[in-house]
Structure 1
Amino acid sequence: MSRIVIFGAGGRAGRAVMAEARDRGHHVTAVVRDPGRHRDLAAEGVPVVRGDVTDAARIPSIVRGHEAVVHAVTPFSGPEQGFADLDPEFFVKAADALLHGLAESGVHRLLVVGLFANLQGPDGRPVMDDPAAFPPEIRPYAAAHTAGLDRLRARDSVVDWLMLTPPALLRLDSPRTGRYQVGGETAPPAPAQLSYADLAVAMIDEIETPRHHRTRISVFS
């Protein structure tokens, strides 16, 4: 049994990872920015901690004593939200804070939820650079996400990180199958999709038996 911290435990991906981890007998600590908005997590017997994935000073005290950390935080929920409050450095700050905090506290495994937009399309360009395949209005978010990936790759750290990137069709209403495929830097061909539940399966598989190290992979069905 592992002890796992999930930043963004109140979101779709975070809740799926939490459910999968608990079903397999792991101990989970849920980290959210406002515990008052997620009382249902505490009601299920999960320790809920107030925390910010970009707070480098606070992260060591949150993650110490755990074996793995999952970063499933997103500051953006959809185009209708707009970008007035989007910090283009959010994912860079999160990468810096997590790599520093995990190294300081002796936690060596970090799993990050990626974004399909910076996978390569058939023409070799990132999907986000093709306006026919990716809405231009969402590009600022994709660029912020990509900057976070670049920071993970650039930092020399003892932390064994892995970014798992689902396809564009990431479904909340699809069931858990326990099956998925793993790819590399190229976006899987349409109509590739994945359920949040199977993304969580891939995440916990990589915690239980790490197979990929300091890289980004695509995960799809």
Structure 2
Amino acid sequence: MSGIVIFGAGGRAGRAVTAEARGRGHRVTAVVRDPSKYGDLEATGVSLVRGDVTDAERTFSIVRGHDAAVCAVTPFSGPQQDFSALDPEFFVKAVDALLAGLAEAGVPRLVTIGLFANLKGADGRLIMDDPSLFPAHIRPFAAAHTAGLHRLREQDGPVDWLMLTPPALLEADGPRTGRYRTGGETAPPMSARLSYADLAVAVIDEIETPRHHRTRIAVFNLS
């Protein structure tokens, strides 16, 4: 049994990863902004704590004694997403704090959830740069996410990181099949889909048996 810290455990991806980790017998610490809103997570036997993913000192105190961390955070606290108020450095700050905190605590593995918008399309352009595929008003969020990916790639510290990037079509209520495919920097076909449950399978697989190191990969299923 491993100890896994999940930042952003209250969101869809975070909840799915929490459930998958618990189902495999791992000890889980779920990190959320406001624990009073997520009592249902604690009821599943998860240790629920308050945390800010951009705070390196707090990250260190949370991750000590664990074997891996998962980052499934978003800067938004609810469905009303005000992109005008988005901090463009949010994901960069998160990466800096996570890598510093994990390194200091001696936690060797970090798995983060990526965004399909910075995968490449068939023409070699990033999806986010093609207005026919990606809405312009969401581009600031994609740019912020991409900045976080660049920051990860710049690091040469002790933490072995991996970013798993799901397709555009993520199914909240899709079944857990236990199957998924992986790819590289090019986006899978637009028909590709993935359930949050199978995204969580891929995350925990990469914690239990790491196969990809210091890179970003696509993860998806095809209909």
Q: Which residue of 2 aligns with 1:6?
A: 6
The letter of the residue matching 1:203 is: V
Shift of 1:78: 8.5
Task: Report sequence identity in percent.
Answer: 76
Q: Secondary structure at the match of 1:111?
A: strand
For these two proteins, the number of residue pairs brought into alignment is: 221
1:120-199 paired onto structure 2 within 5 Å: 120-199=120-199
Q: Secondary structure at the match of 1:156?
A: coil
- Taking the aligned partners of 1:178 and 1:158, their CA distance within structure 2 comes to 30
Superimposed CA distance per residue, residues 133-158 of structure 1 (whole angstroms, 9 cap, x where no aligned partner): 00000000000000000000001211
64-73 or 39-48: bigger deviation: 39-48
- Taking the aligned partners of 2:184 and 2:118, their CA distance within structure 1 comes to 12
Shift of 1:44: 1.9
Change (3 A) 1:78 1:57: closer
Q: Which residue of 1 aligns with 2:93?
A: 93
- Is contact 2:34–2:50 with CA below 8 Å preserved after alignment? yes
Superimposed CA distance per residue, residues 89-145 of structure 1 (whole angstroms, 9 cap, x where no aligned partner): 000000000000000000010000000000000000100000000000000000000
Q: Which residue of 2 aligns with 1:219?
A: 219
Q: Which residue of 1 aligns with 2:73?
A: 73
Q: Which residue of 2 aligns with 1:60?
A: 60
Q: Secondary structure at the match of 1:81?
A: coil
Q: Which residue of 2 aligns with 1:32?
A: 32
TM-score (norm 1): 0.98
Q: Secondary structure at the match of 1:128?
A: helix
- Taking the aligned partners of 1:44 and 1:160, their CA distance within structure 2 comes to 29
- Taking the aligned partners of 1:91 and 1:59, their CA distance within structure 2 comes to 15
Q: Secondary structure at the match of 1:94?
A: helix
The letter of the residue matching 1:41 is: L
CA RMSD of aligned residues (A): 1.2
- Taking the aligned partners of 2:42 and 2:78, their CA distance within structure 1 comes to 27
Q: Which runs of 5+ in 1 are unaligned?
A: none
Q: Which runs of 5+ in 2 are unaligned?
A: none
Superimposed CA distance per residue, residues 4-44 of structure 1 (whole angstroms, 9 cap, x where no aligned partner): 00000010000000000111111100000100111111222
Q: Secondary structure at the match of 2:83?
A: coil
- Is contact 1:79–1:138 with CA below 8 Å preserved after alignment? no
TM-score (norm 2): 0.97
Shift of 1:85: 2.2
Q: Which residue of 2 aligns with 1:203?
A: 203
- Is contact 2:168–2:190 with CA below 8 Å preserved after alignment? no
